[in-house]
Amino acid sequence: RYIFETQDLHFDYPDGTAALQGLSVSIERNKKIALLGANGAGKSTFLLHLIGILKPVKGKIIFNGQELKYDRASLINLRNKVGYVFQDPEIQLFSASVWQEVSFGPMNLGLTNEDVENRVIRALKDTDTTCLKDRPTHFLSYGQKKLISIADILAINPDMIIFDEPTASLDPKYTHRILDLLNDINQRGVSIVMATHDVDKAYEWADTILVMKDGGIIKAGPPEEIFNNE
């Protein structure tokens, strides 16, 4: 029923900063979730827990009904189920050409050449970037890089994709295009988590809003509910 649940997550950075202080939340499958909160509320720290990069000092995470473990095999498995799209595509893209870039993920999954090719073709088609397939990634525009960074993750076929500020630094045209794309992806059964500062966009786009403060979730629910009680 739930794509993920967290129970009483606590996390302290080495300098003693208590970044998560008892975060508990349950999220149903196939939702469009906006994660809101002021700078320093703990959004990034929480998201890094969902992809297994940080390990809670206390509490647990249940993904797809299974408690998250931190051995190598479990983390590799998680990486194929949960995708993460960086705010800045420049730090995500590292291959010479678009085709190489998008094929990297499925190749790592150990798929046959034919399956890899099909994954890449589909991811480029879904992001409407087929015409870029032979281009060097370095010379793409910022918006094109953003789309390719999303194609990268789609090619892995994850159950959930996390987007950190997906429309930051984009013009209105690309912003629209990215939000439409997120809707399309969601309609195919992928759960989406979007961290954002943009309350209006969250209200418009999301079906579930999580508001973080001081390392915990202070509000969770549909937009109408969240913004009525302000």
Interface residues toward ligand ADP, by CB under 6 A: 13, 15, 17, 19, 37, 39-45, 87-88, 91
State the minimum distance, in angstroms, from the CB of residue 30 to ligand ADP: 25
- Return the number of the residue (119 or 145) whose C-beta is nearest ligand ADP: 145
Half-sphere exposure of 186 (CA within 13 A, CB side): 22
Q: Which has the closest alpha carbon to 161: 81, 100, 106?
A: 81
Q: Which has the closest alpha carbon to 149: 202, 87, 195?
A: 87
Token pair 């954002």 is found at 196
State the minimum distance, in angstroms, from the CB of residue 25 to ligand ADP: 15
State the minimum distance, in angstroms, from the CB of residue 207 to ligand ADP: 21
- Return the number of the residue (39 or 229) whose C-beta is nearest ligand ADP: 39
State phi, psi for 54 to the nearest 5 degrees. -110, 150
Q: How far is CA 7 from CA 27, 42, 67, 183, 204, in A?
A: 12, 16, 11, 28, 29
User: Angle at the Cα of 210 (from 207 to 212), degrees rounded to 5?
Assistant: 165
- Return the number of the residue (17 or 24) whose C-beta is nearest ligand ADP: 17
State the minimum distance, in angstroms, from the CB of residue 165 to ligand ADP: 6
Report d(CA 182, CA 38) in Å as an integer.
23
- Return the number of the residue (19 or 124) whose C-beta is nearest ligand ADP: 19
- Return the number of the residue (45 or 127) whose C-beta is nearest ligand ADP: 45
State the minimum distance, in angstroms, from the CB of residue 218 to ligand ADP: 13
